[in-house]
Amino acid sequence: MPIIISIATFVFTLLGGLFALRFKDKLHLILGFSAGAVIAVAFFDLMPEAISLGSKTYSISTITSVVAAGFILYMILDRLVVMHGHTHNDEHAEPTRRGKLGAGSLSIHSFLDGVAIGIAFQVSAAVGLIVAVAVLVHDFSDGINTVNLILKNKGDRKDAMRWLIVDALAPVLGVISTLFFTLSATALGIVLAIFSGFFLYIGASDLLPESHHAHPTKWTTIMTVLGVAILFIAIKIASL
């Protein structure tokens, strides 16, 4: 069952990315949606799950501090990428590296999604199915977000497809990896808190400003709110 579900995550992620490639002429609208979706995943999925898992050992304030540390860590990494880019003559070096950094972060998160599915099935089939549904509902937007991060940072279609495949394969590898190790609930909670901070930075400091750049804010704002609303509803339904 976990392997079957991991294949489903591959398909959902791939479909989301192909959707973004098909409608890349409306990239600013998709970026607005992606910003809302990424922020919603952080607030309504990763952070609550991190608190639920980690609070058995750590206080809630400690876990939220880890979220803040993740935000700051990603900011430092992003700024280092910018500084490194300025040392080269290639004007496209900086945004391309930034896109790869963002797509890589999303791919690692997808890998952890697979780990979460595998560990949940180690607990019980019922828990595994609940976690799997929660993962599947945002895998489609994960694919969109991965493609958008590459395209908006001057990557081409081939780059976007390569990273989309990496992101789609990541949860499959995550599930397979749990056949060889176990991760405590507390440790997984801390990891999810860090990635919650990562996602808040990507959504608020990268995707959201770019979606409004040189475009009317009305429709991009509507798409951002729509991204938050859809992911909120989907996550709530998945948790029932």
d(CA 35, CA 219): 13
d(CA 64, CA 42): 12
pLDDT digits (tens, 9 = 90+) for 30-43: 778 878 888 988 89
pLDDT digits (tens, 9 = 90+) for 70-89: 999 988 877 775 544 444 44
CA separation (Å) from 45 to 21, 50, 137? Answer: 26, 9, 11
Number of structural domains (the chain) is: 1
pLDDT digits (tens, 9 = 90+) for 138-179: 677 778 878 878 887 777 788 889 999 998 999 899 889 988
- Domain residue limits at 63: 2-239
Q: What is the mean pLDDT of residues 222-230?
A: 90
Residue 117 exposure: Cα atoms within 13 Å on the Cβ side: 30
Q: Is the pLDDT of residue 69 over 80?
A: yes
What pLDDT, on the 0 to 100 scale, is given for residue 82?
Answer: 52
d(CA 189, CA 11): 26
Which two tokens mark 100? 């790869």
Residue with tokens 């496209």: 92
The reported pTM is 0.69
What pLDDT, on the 0 to 100 scale, is given for residue 213?
Answer: 61
